[in-house]
Structure 1
């Protein structure tokens, strides 16, 4: 029988390294994916994901089952670490578009469509990075990470109405900053 996250956390709180390894294997890809939304460089996202699990290990005893799901708690840690890192290193806000393009392009596909799609994705990423921190986090969580508004609000530690305000202001900014060819093609998803 596969142990639940809660069972693993209880074991980790007592210093069980195997339980920790199981939890890391289970959730590291998701933690990395969240961090990757904030940073163009893989190494930066990897550092954040590793730091998040260091925090899981050191704070396992204070985690309270039933208060929040482990995955919600972990995502909150990752988002907070990303924001802290972005505040400390403002220069990262201007992403290296070339490295992002290189990563987005499939090396085996050398079509004009793939290049145009990669450039469009890089432009959207660059513009999203210009948003104020809270607006950027709201957009990344709701549109890129596909969290519902209540989930994103919980991860950010704010009320759902505040999140909706952040998303509205972010969409308005993005409409002004994005070229007409890249403007959102559909209205906000109903959540």
Structure 2
């Protein structure tokens, strides 16, 4: 398993308290953990807390880590998922706030800066998608985030969620339908809001 896990050598160096290894581990893993927690929780501050707790688990386990059934990256995602579940359970009575975590996902910063109109459109689209994700049931949202955003295969995502591949595919199918329905309804609502009744014929 060590030969196929790209993190084992780095993890051993972290366990030896090598400062450069710690920096590399943070650089390698932090963006994905933040993105995972951010999209599941819909709250940037809570996402940072989950990432911090996840890295504390890394520092505790690095020296004694023994590769077994799962790769280290899979274990780390499982830790982050469990921490997210704990937070979601604690606030189940409250609605999920929908925000776009643009700080964790730098996009379109290559060929010149976009126009102000493009920036506003991009921000609105991010916020709309974040709201759509937040509206999904937890397991559907998790399936979408793991496959589309974290780029796990169906087999890997199913293992992380501790379900069969068939169950994962069913969750993904329902999640896609719900996302399409939510986004279509959101578009209809936004279009209706732009029309002011009683005006336009004066």
> For this structure pair, what is the TM-score category when the shorter chain's length is used for normalisation?
0.7 to 0.9
What residue number does 1:55 align with?
Answer: 57
Alpha-carbon distance, 1:179 to partner: 1.5
- 1:17 is paired with a residue whose SS is coil
What residue number does 2:16 align with?
Answer: 16
Alpha-carbon distance, 1:86 to partner: 1.8
Contact 1:39 1:92 in 2 (8 A): no
What residue number does 2:190 align with?
Answer: none
What are the ranges of 5 or more consecutive residues in structure 2 without an aligned counterpart?
1-5, 188-202
Contact 2:140 2:171 in 1 (8 A): yes
More helix by share: 1
Question: Per chain length, whose mean CA-contact separation is higher, i.e. which structure has more relative contact order (CA < 8 Å, sep 6+)?
Answer: 2
1:117 and 2:119 are equivalent in the alignment: no
1:93 and 2:96 are equivalent in the alignment: yes
1:82 and 2:116 are equivalent in the alignment: no
Q: Tell me the distance in 2 between the aligned counterparts of 1:143 and 1:37.
A: 11
Alpha-carbon distance, 1:11 to partner: 5.9
1:140 and 2:142 are equivalent in the alignment: no
Q: Tell me the distance in 2 between the aligned counterparts of 1:159 and 1:77.
A: 20
Contact 1:141 1:147 in 2 (8 A): yes
| TM-score of the pair, normalised by structure 1 | 0.74
Q: Tell me the distance in 1 between the aligned counterparts of 2:7 and 2:101.
A: 36
Q: Which has the larger radius of gyration?
A: 2
Name which of 167, 178, 181 aligns with 1:176. 181
What are the ranges of 5 or more consecutive residues in structure 1 without an aligned counterpart?
183-191
- 2:123 is paired with a residue whose SS is helix
Q: How many residue pairs are counted as aligned between the two chains?
A: 173
Distance 1:180 1:138, change over 3 A: same
Contact 1:86 1:92 in 2 (8 A): no
Alpha-carbon distance, 1:89 to partner: 2.3
